Structures are given as C-alpha cells and as structure tokens.
Amino acid sequence: MAIGSAKVMGFKLMDNFKGPWFSKNMTEFYRRWHISLSTWIRDYLYTPLGLATRYWGQYAYVFVMFVTFILFGFWHGANWTFIYFGFLQGLVLTYEAWSRKKRRRFAKKVNKTAYNLFSMILTFAFWSYSCLIFRANDMADVWTLTKNAFAFDSNVFKPSLFDHRMGLNVMGTQDGLLELYAACFAIVLVIIVHYIEYKDDVIEFIGRQPRAVRWAVYYLLIFAILFWRTFNQQDEFIYFQF
C-alpha cells in the first residue's frame, strides 16, 4: 500500500518484503521480511555491538545476537511476550549460524528439492508460532495457546462441530462456505504472488503480461478490496500500535 501510494505521487520506495514465506531458514527470512527495519537493526545495533565485542571470541556472536533480537522484540512494546519473541529469534538464529556447515554437508547427502521444501515448511511453522507469541496478551496466553496448539481433540472432526465451525446452521444452509472458499482462494493467490515476489518483481512481472491479463489482475484486486473491506475503526492495522 505504501509503495503503491508513493508511486502515484512519483516516488519509488524500497521493497520491504521479498517473498519471505519461501525462505529456507530464519537467517534468509530476515533478509526478506521487513527489510527496512532489519537493515536499520543490522546497521545501527548489530554491527556496532559486534565491533564493540569483537575480542570476546565465539561468545561475542551469541551475546550480540541475543541482545539485538531481545531489543528488536522490546521495540514492539514493553511486554514480556515481545521479550520472549525476540529471545526465540536470537536462539534460532544463533543455532543456524553454528550449524551452517553441518546443515550444508547434510543437504548434499539428501534430495535437494525435498530438503528445501522441508526447510521452508519448518521455517514457516516457526514463524507462525512466533506470531502466536507476538499477538498474545501476556505470557499466560502464550502457554495456553501453545498447549492448545498441540492438543489434538478427536471431536474436532465430528460433522456437527465441523458444520458449526464452518458457519453452517442446523437448517443446512451454507452461509459459511462462501467465506471458506474465499479464504482458500485468497491463500492460493497469496502463495502465487509471494512466489512471483520471491523470484521477480511483482509490478514488473504484471507489466510484462498481455493487456487482458493486466486488466484482469486490476479488476480482481478491486473486487478483493471491496469484498474484504472494513470500515470498523476497531479493526485497525496492527502496526498502528507501534
């Protein structure tokens, strides 16, 4: 939205996201996610701390990584959930740095496609859990949500409960199915767009397509904006609070 609005006024902003969902590890993820913030943290926090502790040996990297990402979490708000969020990022990134050579040797011994796909899924799963922590109200919520995420209930697949969750009432009308189909369509669309973004520039990619394809995309976007619009002031954009 910011990039598009700036282009209307003749300004070109930096790309802030570059297909992060296809990252094969968290190190790559932070090179593709919120690039402006990640770059600022690297230049004004991580690098100065690294220079200041360069004589500490192997422990310098651990110290700098944890301090950087704990402060990165704290930047989002004075809450233990954000501290825990940053701590986990530092923990995983430290592990990736220390295990890089071993993971590369292992990758050469297995199927490359399968290894990359598994790495993408694992990275996405970790980030999804991180977002659960990020959105929790407090640490008690974090533990409750974590426990429930791994609590498998056989009743969840019963037709009556499934119908209720899908928005189907007892009369058999399928009001909720439209939203279900729209959500599935949106997920597929987002995956396609992110893959294009991962490999290319989305705007330039669309610009190279035939006129019919370009206008179909434009009308699809207009329809999506109208379909998922919200004028409720309570549903404000998450980053308005930071």
Average pLDDT score, the chain:
83
Per-residue pLDDT tens digits for 55-95: 888 788 889 999 999 998 888 888 899 999 999 999 999 99
Phi, psi of 16 (to 5 degrees): -95, -20
Per-residue pLDDT tens digits for 100-124: 999 999 999 999 999 999 999 999 9
The residue that leads in pLDDT, 15 or 25, is 25
The pTM assigned to this predicted structure is 0.77
- pLDDT for 187 equals 87
Known catalytic residues are 76
Q: Nearest CA to 27 among 93, 79, 72, 86?
A: 93
231 has a pLDDT exceeding 70:
no
- pLDDT for 67 equals 92
235 has a pLDDT exceeding 90:
no
Burial group, residue 206, by CB count within 10 angstroms (0-12, 13-18, 19+): middle
Using CA atoms, how far apart are residues 82 and 92, in angstroms rounded to an integer? 16
Summarize the confidence of residues 213-231 as an average pLDDT.
83
Summarize the confidence of residues 170-188 as an average pLDDT.
70
Enter the tokens of residue 196.
């294009």
Using CA atoms, how far apart are residues 138 and 224, in angstroms rounded to an integer? 34
pLDDT band, residue 165 (cuts 50/70/90): very low
- pLDDT for 173 equals 46
Summarize the confidence of residues 133-138 as an average pLDDT.
88
- pLDDT for 2 equals 80
pLDDT band, residue 154 (cuts 50/70/90): low
Per-residue pLDDT tens digits for 194-206: 888 888 888 889 9
Sequence spans of domains, the chain = 19-151
The residue type of 75 is W
Using CA atoms, how far apart are residues 242 and 4, in angstroms rounded to an integer? 22
User: Percent of the chain having pLDDT more than 90?
Assistant: 40
